[in-house]
């Protein structure tokens, strides 16, 4: 029964050893362990705060990137639209210039044709007049070689002039 009911001396020494052990552990083991646990807890909290801040920063950067991307798309669309308008304007101006130049060239050609036409008409008149004179001269010479014909012709002209 001695094992089941300990003696007073055993209880005293067990209690004294337990208190000494408790004091030594409290002085040299628990304080460093508790301070290490508190430091670990503080570092975990700091890491959690840093992670939350990083997540917020990433979310903010993502939002800013989306906004910048949207602005860039709008700017791209605006530039493409302006370029298309400028190309259409240049195309229209080129077509207008080409039409104006074609009309001017056509007008110059018509003027040149009219000038050449009048020049050709004048030249033809001159040639016809010269040819007519040459023919008349040849006819008159052949007719006037014969004296009898000359006399008859003069008489005919005289009669016609008297009648008028």
Q: For residues 38-42, give the mean pLDDT.
A: 94
What is the count of structural domains for the chain? 1
Residue 3: CB atoms within 10 Å: 5
- Is 116 part of any domain? yes
- Is 14 part of any domain? yes
CA atoms within 13 A on the CB side of 103: 6
- Is 3 part of any domain? no
- Is 1 part of any domain? no
- Is 2 part of any domain? no
- Is 106 part of any domain? yes
pLDDT of residue 3: 62
Mean pLDDT across the chain? 87
**What pLDDT, in 10s, does the model give residues 138-148?**
777 776 676 77
Q: What's CA 55's distance to the chain center, in Å?
A: 40
**What pLDDT, in 10s, does the model give residues 101-111?**
999 999 999 99
Domain that holds residue 106: 8-163
pLDDT band of 164, cuts 50, 70, 90: very low
Dihedral of alpha carbons 5, 11, 13, 17, sign: positive
- Is 147 part of any domain? yes
**What pLDDT, in 10s, does the model give residues 120-129?**
999 988 888 8
- Is 29 part of any domain? yes
């Amino acid at each position: 029964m001695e094992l089941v009911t300990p003696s007073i001396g055993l209880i005293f020494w067990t209690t004294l050893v337990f208190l000494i052990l408790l004091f030594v552990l409290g002085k040299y083991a628990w304080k460093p362990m508790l301070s290490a646990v508190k430091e670990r807890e503080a570092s975990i909290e700091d890491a959690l705060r840093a992670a939350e801040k990083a997540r917020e920063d990433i979310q903010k950067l993502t939002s800013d990137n989306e906004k910048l991307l949207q602005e860039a798309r709008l700017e791209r669309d605006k530039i493409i639209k302006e370029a298309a308008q400028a190309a259409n304007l240049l195309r229209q101006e080129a077509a207008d210039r080409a039409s104006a130049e074609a009309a001017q060239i056509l007008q110059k050609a018509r003027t040149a044709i009219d000038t050449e036409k009048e020049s050709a008409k004048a030249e033809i008149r001159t040639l016809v007049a010269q040819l007519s004179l040459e023919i008349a001269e040849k006819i008159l010479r052949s007719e006037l070689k014969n004296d009898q014909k000359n006399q008859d012709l003069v008489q005919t002209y005289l009669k016609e002039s008297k009648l008028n």
